[in-house]
Amino acid sequence: MALFESLIPVEWATGVIEAERIPFWAGTVLLLIVSVVTLYLVFRFHHRIRMISDTPTSKIRSAAQGYVELEGEGLLLKGDNRRSPLSGLPCLWYKYKIEKRVVTTDSRGHRQTRWKTIDSGKSESLFLVKDDTGECVIDPEGAEVTPNSSQTWYSVHAGWHGPIPKSGVISFGSKDYRLSESRIDIGADLYLLGRFGSVGGVHDLPNAREELRQILVEWKQDPKKLLQRFDANGDGKIDEQEWGGATKAAKKEVIEMRAEMARQPMTHIIGKPENSRRPFVISTIDQQAMVKRFGYYVGGSVSAFLASGSVVTWLVTVRLGL
């Protein structure tokens, strides 16, 4: 703190002491909020690093039900001819924004330009990841997505008809619309971290005991049909021996039904975890690169926290004469 104070001009300290009360404390509170937010980001980014580093990469065929890490090639579902809305390029996932240039004049006659968003959106349609053992459906809703293609360009229209300019950015001129688009291209290498589950086949079989109970309840609700099937001696009622025969028949139906369901194809799905502390990541950069990137984020957040915290401490100390 002493080193920090030695770098501050004396005039600044005088300005802090003489500053009006409301603007001074409003600015100090704002800096304090920045300090708290950056401290939160330090823990958040470090948590991302731990989750990515500590979760082992699984193969789709042998992945356990629950939170997993997958890697593979991104593909469209059969029959899906998806294209991004602005460039019209084939893709697995997209996010876009259309902004309009708004020019205003202030009280002094100065022209000010800002961009107003008039349309935006992103894809939430399913697509696939494939490794050397199988395929898994990706439900991208709620995911933190890192695309592999991003462009921004300008147009005289709110829509774009034709290929994206090779330069990626066109000079303003009279073009009043700014269009931005990010995509995951077909065939991109994907890194995924999320909740893995399987439906169909042996993973989707109901409880055998419950199924048996349901069948017997249904049969009891139709006494006439029950008698026709199992009243062997024709006395108009089901005795204990005949009920045993009915139970045996119901068990046979359960076994046949479960065998048929087990033969159905199994579908694997990865999506957003129920636990909000576990991130759902769809990325086109690999695990090592992601860890490195979040490491930079941690370093930047620590620096911002130390800087804003030091300034807040200095402001309060000088103002209150501590």
> CA distances (Å), 225 to each of 215, 220, 228, in order?
13, 9, 5
Which comes out higher in pLDDT, residue 138 or 209?
Answer: 138
Band the pLDDT of 205: cuts 50, 70, 90: low
What the block records as the tokens of 16 is 């802090």
Task: Check residue 133 and give its pLDDT.
Answer: 93
Task: Check residue 9 and give its pLDDT.
Answer: 62
Band the pLDDT of 139: cuts 50, 70, 90: very high
Domain assignment present for residue 288? The answer is no
**Percent residues over pLDDT 90 in the chain:** 46
Name the average pLDDT for the chain: 85
Domain assignment present for residue 239? The answer is yes
Strand pairing partners for 33?
none
Task: Check residue 24 and give its pLDDT.
Answer: 86
Residue 110's domain comprises: 83-122+149-184
In this structure, are 226 and 170 located in the same domain?
no
In this structure, are 180 and 226 located in the same domain?
no
Task: Check residue 36 and give its pLDDT.
Answer: 95
What the block records as the tokens of 116 is 């107003």
In this structure, are 178 and 211 located in the same domain?
no
In this structure, are 208 and 249 located in the same domain?
yes
Domain assignment present for residue 49? The answer is no
Domain assignment present for residue 26? The answer is no
Give the helix/strand (H/E) hosting 63.
Answer: none
In this structure, are 118 and 163 located in the same domain?
yes
In this structure, are 159 and 231 located in the same domain?
no
Strand pairing partners for 291?
none
In this structure, are 117 and 172 located in the same domain?
yes
What is the radius of gyration, based on Cα positions, of the chain? 32
* CB environment 32-43: b (16+ within 10 A), e (fewer): bebbeebbebbe
* Rounded (10°) CA dihedral 66, 70, 74, 77: -30
Tell whether the model's pLDDT for residue 128 goes beyond 90.
Answer: yes
Task: Check residue 129 and give its pLDDT.
Answer: 97
Task: Check residue 234 and give its pLDDT.
Answer: 79
Task: For the beta carbon of residue 206, count every other beta carbon within 10 angstroms.
Answer: 12
In this structure, are 89 and 117 located in the same domain?
yes
In this structure, are 108 and 156 located in the same domain?
yes
Strand ranges across the sheet with 93-105 = 111-122, 93-105, 177-184, 149-155
Domain assignment present for residue 32? The answer is no
Phi-psi sector, 109: left (phi>0), alpha (psi -120 to 50), beta: left
Task: Check residue 215 and give its pLDDT.
Answer: 83
Task: Check residue 171 and give its pLDDT.
Answer: 43
Band the pLDDT of 200: cuts 50, 70, 90: low
Phi-psi sector, 234: left (phi>0), alpha (psi -120 to 50), beta: left
Instruction: Detail the DSSP E strand segments found in the chain.
Output: 66-75, 93-105, 111-122, 127-131, 134-138, 144-146, 149-155, 177-184, 189-199, 267-271, 281-283
Domain assignment present for residue 207? The answer is yes
Tell whether the model's pLDDT for residue 169 goes beyond 50.
Answer: no
Of the three residues 240, 262, 284, the one that is the final residue of a domain is 262
Domain assignment present for residue 215? The answer is yes
Of the three residues 242, 262, 282, the one that is the final residue of a domain is 262
Domain assignment present for residue 16? The answer is no
In this structure, are 159 and 246 located in the same domain?
no
Residues 166, 168, 172, 177: is their CA dihedral positive or negative? Answer: positive
Tell whether the model's pLDDT for residue 310 goes beyond 70.
Answer: yes
Q: Which residues contact 3 (CB under 8 A, 6 or more apart)?
A: none
In this structure, are 88 and 161 located in the same domain?
yes
In this structure, are 88 and 173 located in the same domain?
yes
Band the pLDDT of 225: cuts 50, 70, 90: confident
Q: How many domains does the chain have?
A: 2
pLDDT digits (tens, 9 = 90+) for 10-51: 667 777 777 788 888 898 999 999 999 999 999 999 999 999
Task: Check residue 173 and give its pLDDT.
Answer: 46
Task: Check residue 94 and give its pLDDT.
Answer: 96
Distance separating alpha carbons of residues 190 and 290, to the nearest angstrom: 12
Band the pLDDT of 322: cuts 50, 70, 90: low
Distance separating alpha carbons of residues 34 and 29, to the nearest angstrom: 9
Of the three residues 241, 262, 283, the one that is the final residue of a domain is 262
**DSSP per-residue codes, 223-273:** HHHHHHHH-TT-SSS--HHHHHHHHHHHHHHHHHHHHHHHTSPPEEEEE--
